[in-house]
Amino acid sequence: MKVKEIILLIFIIAAGVFFYHAYTGKIYIDLDWGEGIFFNLDEFVYEESQEIDPPFLPELEIINAHGDVEIQGTEEQRVTIFFQKEIWRKNKEQADKVAEELQMTVNKDDQRLIISTNKADFRRKRFRTNFRIHVPAGMDIKVKNSYGLVKTLKVGKTDIINPHGKIVAMDIGGDLFLQNKYRDIEVENVQSDCQIDSRHSSVTVNRVKGEINIVHRYGNIHLEDISQGVTVEGSHTEVFGQRIAGSVDIETSYKKIILFDVGPTEIRGRHSRIEVDGARENLEIYDRYGKVILNNIQGNLKIDGKNLEVSGTGITGEKIFISTSYKNIKLTEFSGTTTILLSNGEVVLKPYPLTHPVEVKGEYADIKFYWPSGEKYPFEARVKSGDIKWEVPAEFSYQEENSFTIIKAFVQEKEKPSVFLSTTYGTIRIEVTEQTN
């Protein structure tokens, strides 16, 4: 073994021992507060409580740092505060002195009851302050915290700012605003609007009756049972959503988007895989360097992309528009006025019996069209520097015009929707759809 490898091995072992002792509390790391690393500190825990009787101000505000805050609505008409101090010192005597000086503060202004601590009085902290608070159910809440969990349950309008801390908000009776980073967010059962600003995190939202607006970076979002609209402004954010009754507006990049049973939807992606199964009204997708998979789309469809592969089945709407390049397009069991533009790829179409016209224009593209069995539609195919293979058992006309080869069929069926296929440097093939029992 080389000298460099031996040194690296020793370093790895030493680092492992160091972090093990830090995790078990034998070494205290206090980088968050800028106090350095402390050895041989023990943890001492102190608890106290206070009750506040009515009348109450409309809002409760908690200002804390480096600790957990849990607020729960109850049927009792009082505010009960449980205050816990976690103190790291060399011995109990030192910890007792800090515990005596470290106190919670309770103040009032015209609008709110404010609960905090005198933490700012300490030069060297090396402690955490935790709050567990019971309030009358439905009371409005505002929390400012950091480096700890904030959890609220059965409260009213809620505003939580918790940098570097996890947030859990459940059974919220009013608007909900959450802001954090580097920790997860969990939301369930909100009676009004919900606004979330988070990054480097996982965000889970279930059962919201109002509008949802999420700004997010680097992580994932999971949405279920949303009664109104959803807006996601993301980057490097994976999005999953199902049972969204209102409109959906999603922007993200480099991550996949999966949606089930949604309302009118607009998606703007970059390098994103997009899957939609069950969409009502309009679906618009703008993406590049990705893949789109669609199923059971009931409404107009618009896809505009580059280097974007598209496949879909069960698409029924008034209008279908797809434009992309360098990837393939495959649609089966679809109907509606259909326009497809493709360069450098292949288009495969297997429609329902036509109710609207179909038009495909390609460049350096192959086109394969499955003709509905037994149907007659005005048909025209044009190809330049390529070939047309007509495999439908019906007569057709052939001509050449301006370097294009042109064939036509069923031209007398003027009252029926038409099929127009055109490409350059490719092959157009028309086959009859096989009948299934």
Name residue 353's beta-bridge partners. Answer: none
| pLDDT above 60 (res 278) | yes
| pLDDT above 60 (res 383) | yes
Angstrom distances, CA of residue 264 to CA of 78, 274, 278, 320, 385: 46, 15, 10, 15, 41
Q: Considering the chain, what is the average pLDDT of its residues?
A: 91
| pLDDT above 90 (res 307) | yes
| pLDDT above 80 (res 196) | yes
| pLDDT above 70 (res 75) | yes
Q: Average pLDDT for residues 219-241, to the nearest whole number?
A: 97
**Which range is least confidently modeled, 65-69, 119-123, 338-342?**
119-123
Angstrom distances, CA of residue 299 to CA of 141, 197, 263, 334, 336: 42, 32, 10, 11, 9
What band does 14 get if pLDDT is binned at 50, 70 and 90?
low
Neighbours of 255 (CB within 10 A): 20
Angstrom distances, CA of residue 144 to CA of 159, 198, 406: 9, 15, 71
Exposure of 57 in the CB half-sphere (CA atoms within 13 A): 15
Tens digits of residue pLDDT in 29-74: 544 444 445 557 899 999 999 999 888 788 999 999 999 999 999 9
**Which range is least confidently modeled, 21-25, 103-107, 180-184?**
21-25
| pLDDT above 60 (res 343) | yes
Angstrom distances, CA of residue 271 to CA of 252, 257, 268, 277, 400: 9, 11, 10, 20, 41
Which pair of tokens denotes residue 119?
A: 């933490």
Q: Give the angle subtended at the CA of 170 by the CAs of 165 and 174, to the nearest 5°.
A: 105
Res 138: pLDDT: 94
Res 1: pLDDT: 58
| pLDDT above 90 (res 176) | yes
Which pair of tokens denotes residue 296?
A: 């059971």
Q: What percent of the chain has pLDDT over 90?
A: 82
Which pair of tokens denotes residue 172?
A: 């919220």
pTM above 0.85, yes or no: yes
The residue ranking higher by pLDDT, 214 or 56, is 214
What band does 304 get if pLDDT is binned at 50, 70 and 90?
very high
Q: Taking the domains of the chain in order of start, what are their residue ranges?
A: 3-40, 41-165, 174-255, 257-311, 328-437
Q: Which helix (H) or strand (E) holds 16?
A: helix 3-24
Q: Give the angle subtended at the CA of 173 by the CAs of 77 and 81, to the nearest 5°.
A: 40
| pLDDT above 70 (res 225) | yes
Res 391: pLDDT: 93
Angstrom distances, CA of residue 333 to CA of 75, 200, 297, 338: 56, 40, 11, 12
Q: What percent of the chain has pLDDT over 70?
A: 91
Tens digits of residue pLDDT in 145-166: 999 999 999 999 999 999 999 9
Do β-strands 185-190 and 59-63 pair in parallel, antiparallel, or remain unpaired? unpaired
Res 18: pLDDT: 57
Which pair of tokens denotes residue 302?
A: 């618009």
What band does 403 get if pLDDT is binned at 50, 70 and 90?
confident
Rounded Cα–Cα distance for residues 386 and 405 (Å): 8
As a three-state string, the secondary structure of 361-379 is EEEEEEEEEEECCCCCCCE
Please, what's the b/e burial string for 304-331 (b: 16 or more CB within 10 A of its CB; e: otherwise)? Answer: bbebbbbebebbbbeebbbbbbbbbbeb
The four Cα atoms 284, 286, 290, 294 give a dihedral, to 10 degrees, of 10
Res 228: pLDDT: 96
What band does 140 get if pLDDT is binned at 50, 70 and 90?
very high
Rounded Cα–Cα distance for residues 64 and 143 (Å): 8
Tens digits of residue pLDDT in 250-276: 999 999 999 999 999 999 999 999 999
Res 351: pLDDT: 96
